[in-house]
Structure 1
Amino acid sequence: MSLPSHGGVATSSHLRSAANKVPEITAWFWIAKLLTTGMGETTWDWSAVALGPVPAICLSGLGFVVALGLQLRERAYRPWVYWFAVLMVSVFGTTCADAVHVVLGVPYAVSTAAFLLAVLAAFGIWYRVEGTLSIHRIDTRRRELFYWLAVIMTFALGTALGDLTATTLRMGYAVSILVFGVLFALPFLVARGTSANVVATFWFAYVMTRPLGASVADWVGVPPSRGGVGIGTGLVSLVALLVIVAVVLRLEFGARRSLTG
């Protein structure tokens, strides 16, 4: 799925300009995104049991701050830094969304609605200020902050939505995979066959990667008593991490070749 190559131009002279800070939207982008969402889900499940909820929240929060700090320091897109940030957003976003339900007792239906409003608010403010939601021009600090705010909110929304279908609506993980797989594929079909807004279809697909990846990871990792295969969340997280490293290394070497070639 491609996006428009144009976007609103920032007019504030004090904003730091930079090269585009996010990757091009290719098949590798979606593969890496789905892998990080799955790992984020099972990593939180494993760490909450192995370490306890409070230490897990603190560690994921620390990792999130470090990763985002590294990303904001870069002057241009660098694959390993960007995807490290996405991975930690996935883990921390899962932590926050689950904590709202487990610690505060907020029903998934309520948290899903609340996070949906938060996503719409984030996009609305971003569009009002910048005049575009396209990710082809994430080239100022302000746009980058809007981008990561939207990413964090979409992760939280996707987490709550996936838990809503799997548990509250009693669909289970296998059926949730089918539902979100269709919803994830739908924007690509719409964008190919119609003149639908490609920015809107991109962000819809982006949101759907979270419950899709998490449903797959949960289905593989959790025990049969919870509707899964039972491989174990720790093992699923480890395998996902190894695959993510392999994918990101490919992207890193490809980026370096394009710079030197």
Structure 2
Amino acid sequence: MTDSPQQDNFRNGAASAVLDERRLARAGASPRRAGAKVPEITAWFWVAKVLTTGMGETTSDFLVHQIEPAVALGVGAVGLVASLVLQFAVRRYIPWVYWLAVVMVSVFGTMAADAVHVVLGVPYLVSAVFFLVVLSVVFLLWYRSEKTLSIHSLDTRRREAFYWTAVLTTFALGTATGDMTAYSLNLGYLASGAVFTAVIAVVGLLYWRGWIGAIPSFWFAYILTRPLGASFADWTAVSFDRGGLGWGTGPVSLGLAACIAALVCYLSIGGRRNALSRSR
């Protein structure tokens, strides 16, 4: 008994799909990663994340002290919207586009959290709890809508919108948490950075031992890298009488920007090489 043409076509198509998956696997990629708009979670991802958090902290402080705070907030908002419009417009992960959006989220998220305390007079503990509740609501709505919180499932505009909303909220939460430990708990910037480093290390150990899943450990570390980077950036920037090195917010911001630019160039070149190797 011979197979029908429809059966032959189905079998040939399935075989072709399997071969494509095997070729992608041999090249170090996965079919699900094709067209992804976020980077792989590697050590370089966390280095870039910490650099952007530090730059967001010092850049925000520099702007609000150099120009009218309301104007600085408006500039930050415009930069955030423009960078996110660009990120949503591209169809794949482009390092400089993605990390530009993260930098602007960091700058504006810092301004928003600082405004809640400075302008409205809300204590850091209260603002930290507030942003934690907001983030929990974002995660709840995201999960109820999409059944996942994985950043590698951002294949629709709605999921991408949930992702960037969560990212913005984590930066505001991290800012409030870092200020709470540095000021309200009187730990100072350097000690705060050491505390957050230790907590992140514990989370990494729990993940390595298999006691916590990949998604919750990612988001927990993602939140804490915000006050981690900000604490060390503030420590280098603020004056000696405030427990810092006194380098200034302007020079520290420029130095971090240079480091981010160099890292993004490296990641862009590496991404092109990987794409070329997969196409051969």
* TM-score, with length taken from structure 1: 0.92
Between the aligned partners of 2:174 and 2:192, the Cα distance in structure 1 is 12
Of 261, 267, 273, which aligns to 1:251? 267
The equivalent residue for 2:231 is 215
Contact 1:6 1:136 in 2 (8 A): no
Of 104, 107, 117, which aligns to 2:123? 107
* TM-score, with length taken from structure 2: 0.86
Equivalent runs, 1:42-191 vs 2, <5 Å = 42-191=58-207
- Tell me the secondary structure at the aligned position of residue 219 of structure 2: helix
Q: Which structure exhibits the higher relative contact order, with contacts defined as CA atoms closer than 8 Å and separated by 6 or more residues?
A: 1
1:30 maps onto 2:46 in alignment: yes
> Could you say if the C-alpha distance between residues 181 and 246 of structure 1 is closer, same or farther in structure 2, counting changes exceeding 3 Å?
same
Task: Find the structure with the greater CA-based Rg.
Answer: 2
Task: Give 2:218's aligned amino acid.
Answer: F
Between the aligned partners of 1:195 and 1:185, the Cα distance in structure 2 is 14
The more displaced of 162-171 and 187-196 is 187-196
- Tell me the secondary structure at the aligned position of residue 181 of structure 2: helix
Instruction: State the superposition RMSD in angstroms.
Output: 1.4
Unaligned runs of 5+ residues in structure 2 are 1-29
Contact 1:79 1:251 in 2 (8 A): yes
> Could you say if the C-alpha distance between residues 166 and 6 of structure 1 is closer, same or farther in structure 2, counting changes exceeding 3 Å?
farther
Identity over aligned pairs, percent: 55
Task: Give 1:146's aligned amino acid.
Answer: F
Task: Give 2:198's aligned amino acid.
Answer: V
Between the aligned partners of 1:56 and 1:182, the Cα distance in structure 2 is 34
The alpha carbon displacement at 1:169 in A equals 1.1
The equivalent residue for 1:19 is 35
- Tell me the secondary structure at the aligned position of residue 228 of structure 1: coil
Report which of the two has the higher share of helix: 2
Runs of 4+ aligned structure 1 residues displaced above 3 Å come to none
The equivalent residue for 1:10 is none
